[in-house]
Structure 1
Amino acid sequence: MDVDTQRVWDYASDAYVHRLVQNKSDGKLVELPSGRNESNTDELYDKLDNIGMEYTHLLTRQLDSQRTYFEEQVVAAADKATKASRRADEAFEKLQEALTALEDLKLKIDHLSQDVVPSLEKSKTRAERKAEKATELLRKFEKDWREEKTVNDGLLERVDKINKEREELLRENVDLKDQLRDMMFFVEGREKLKEMDEEGIEEGEVTIGDVPDGKKKRRGKGKGKR
């Protein structure tokens, strides 16, 4: 490129060209056609400058828009990362709490396995022994009760029999008392008559006080027996 004229020498065509510009679509350098007319060349320079400025302005706006977009994305990503970090911290705290609770539960299980369960097994063994003894004692009580019931039933039968015999004896005793009273009255009457005979009572009629009708009848029976 000639510094003074700002023209570019194309070695392929062995001639000066106005300049080489970069194609926007594929980025390749292309040669702008050179005109023989100097005014056309100046106009072309102006157009190229305007195009370059517009392209630069457009590129700047796109870059600013992309920068703003990416900055927003970075802020959003940072916010998401902050929230995710906060949730991760909360999850970690919950995990620590769960691990602590799990460790406490493990200690309780170990305590139950080592202390409580053996104690419960011993208590169960003692309870089973007590239950066996209570069962044996209950069986003994039941046996004694049955034996006592049998004895009581026998005693009740004997008592009932004795009561019946007693009632019979009482009835017989009443009869014997009546018979004994009659016999005593008969003996007394006979003795009186004997005494009266010995005193020489004559004519055979004797009156011995006032005797109740029943006793008179019994005395008559006595005389009949005599």
Structure 2
Amino acid sequence: MSVSLCVLRIEIDEDLPEMGDNPAEMEAAKEQKKKDRGARESKTITVETYASVLTGPNTDTGILPTSSRRSPPENSMSEEEDTISFFCGNPLVEVTKGVLHLYKENEMKEAEEAKTLCLLSVPGALGAPDLLAFAAACQQDIAHVRVLRDGSPDHYMALFTFRTSDAAREFHETFDGVPYSSLEPNALCHMAWVSRVEWARDGTPPPSHTELPTCPVCLERMDESVAGVLSVQCAHAFHAECLVRWRDARCPVCRCAQTPEPRGQAVCFQCERAALAEEDGDETRENISGVAEGLLDGVEAGTLWICLICGNVGCGRYEGGHAAKHFLASNHTYALQLGSNRVWDYAGDNFVHRLVQNKADGKLVAAEGGFTSEDSACGGEKLDSAQLEFTYILTQQLDSQRMFYEEKMNKLEAEHISECEKLRFRATEAEASSSKLSEQVATLTKENKNLERKLQQVTNKLALFQNELSEERGLAAALANSQAEWQARAKVKEENFVKEVSELKEQLRDVMFFVEARGQLQQAGASHAELADAQVSVAPPPKPRRRRR
């Protein structure tokens, strides 16, 4: 398999002891560093190394010098049988400040001995445990994993070093182009082959190597062996997939139009706004004297004119006169006629173009054609004088434009200063009110704490009273039950007592009847002998009947 191997180099800014103490060498290195970096700024680079525990204690020495280490590696080997292959809690962390470079070899080589793969853009939301879980199927063949962060919050780079090149090729074939997570299907895994990882003081690329640029859309390294790279007319390069998703025809970086040719349906800006606003469109055509565009033979009426200063497109005086009105409003003198590429000067009221573009081959030719061989010398002198005159006129117009815009800039600057003063005054008022509000917030916070403390006390008392109330209710319920029992017993005793009283009354009545009868008999027995031995007896009370249950 033929691949392009890459060299990952970390350009550090730290003055380490390994660099030497030669001032001339240090100054030359600084100048070379400025030349190599260009507009790139130095960032904090963090390298986290997660070594496999299958090969015993961690013996990896890291990438950067020893002075860049933040935490030394510890023995993360577990003696349990069901242990994971990597330990994420205490990695070897190396921190430095510099620039991260990725140099690609210009020639394709066989990757029999390549064992390191670089994941170019890993989403920042994917942590180190999630990354190890993503490659869990190949953890038996991974020697160590390095995570390189250069301060970008959205993505970082990861290096997977395998024990064998076959395992690296299998990982590349399996996971290349696979999304990291099902929640983000657009975040695909793109990787490149890395021959070595090193650090240096300068950003000079190794021999026969070229640094990989960064895609301005996805901020990922661009490698044509990984994904298609497309260059546009303004010399900016992008990933083909990123540029396809860009719906605009302009460059995402410089906004350069990739289709500069005139559109088939070019319209006036003012007329288009009127059509969008659903107006009548019967605008009164004002006759503007001294600013007529002028039409050549064969040119249709109502052509469009584009301002060479601001790019405003307006229609001619035979249509609506918007191009001339734009000149009166903005004092932009020159306008280009679309279709013929001729320039009209509103101030001089004539055409001022000298060269036009030939539609046949696209070359610039004279407006009235070339000169013959006989009067070529005279024509050359006329052309030079016309060019000097055009340059003089253009200089005057540009000076007037400069003065016009300088006045506008001064006016805007004065307005900006007054507005800044107002904003500063409002800012001071806002700060004063903010300080007052902060004091009120502090006071209310203290009161809130006191009220919360009182509320806690009241809540505790309420809980205590509720417990006592529940106990009192239970006791009252028990007393009510016992009272009902005692009332039932008293009612039964009362009924028995009433029965006994009624029986005693009957017995008393019988006794009184017996006493009275005996007394009467004794009185009568004295007079009658027959009743002398008479007796009175009372029948015993009947026995109560048993009720059937």
- TM-score, structure 1 as length reference: 0.56
Q: 1:151: how far off?
A: 2.1
Partner residue, 1:208: none
Partner residue, 1:79: 404
Partner residue, 1:90: 415
Q: 1:67: how far off?
A: 4.5
CA deviation digits over 1:184-217, x for unaligned, max 9?
A: 221221132123213306677xxxxxxxxxxxxx
Partner residue, 2:508: 184
Return closer, same or farther for 1:104/1:224 CA change in 2, 3 Å cut-off: same
Are residues 1:162 and 2:477 paired?
Answer: no
Q: 1:75: how far off?
A: 1.8
Partner residue, 1:122: 446
- Mapping of residues 206-217 of structure 1, within 5 Å: none
**1:223 maps to amino acid:** V
Partner residue, 2:424: 99
Tell me, in whole angstroms, the C-alpha distance in 2 between the residues paired with 1:131 and 1:61.
92
CA deviation digits over 1:45-95, x for unaligned, max 9?
A: xxxxxx9xxx8xx969955x5544333222211221222223333333333
Partner residue, 2:496: 172
Partner residue, 1:213: none
CA deviation digits over 1:163-192, x for unaligned, max 9?
A: 111221122122122212212221221132
Tell me, in whole angstroms, the C-alpha distance in 2 between the residues paired with 1:189 and 1:92.
134
- Higher RCO, 1 or 2 (CA under 8 Å, sep at least 6)? 2
Q: 1:97: how far off?
A: 3.2
- Mapping of residues 18-57 of structure 1, within 5 Å: none
**1:106 maps to amino acid:** E
Q: 1:138: how far off?
A: 0.8
Q: RMSD value over aligned CA atoms?
A: 3.3
Structure with more of its chain in strand, by fraction:
2
Return closer, same or farther for 1:61/1:163 CA change in 2, 3 Å cut-off: closer
Identity of aligned residues (%): 13
Unaligned runs of 5+ in 2: 1-377, 542-549
Tell me, in whole angstroms, the C-alpha distance in 2 between the residues paired with 1:78 and 1:139.
83
Partner residue, 2:294: none
Tell me, in whole angstroms, the C-alpha distance in 2 between the residues paired with 1:117 and 1:176.
85
SS at match of 2:538: helix
SS at match of 1:199: helix
**1:81 maps to amino acid:** E
Tell me, in whole angstroms, the C-alpha distance in 1 between the residues paired with 2:518 and 2:410.
148
Q: 1:107: how far off?
A: 1.5
Partner residue, 2:468: 144
Tell me, in whole angstroms, the C-alpha distance in 2 between the residues paired with 1:79 and 1:194.
157
Q: 1:126: how far off?
A: 1.6
Q: 1:127: how far off?
A: 0.8
Q: Which residue of 129, 132, 138 maps to 2:456? A: 132
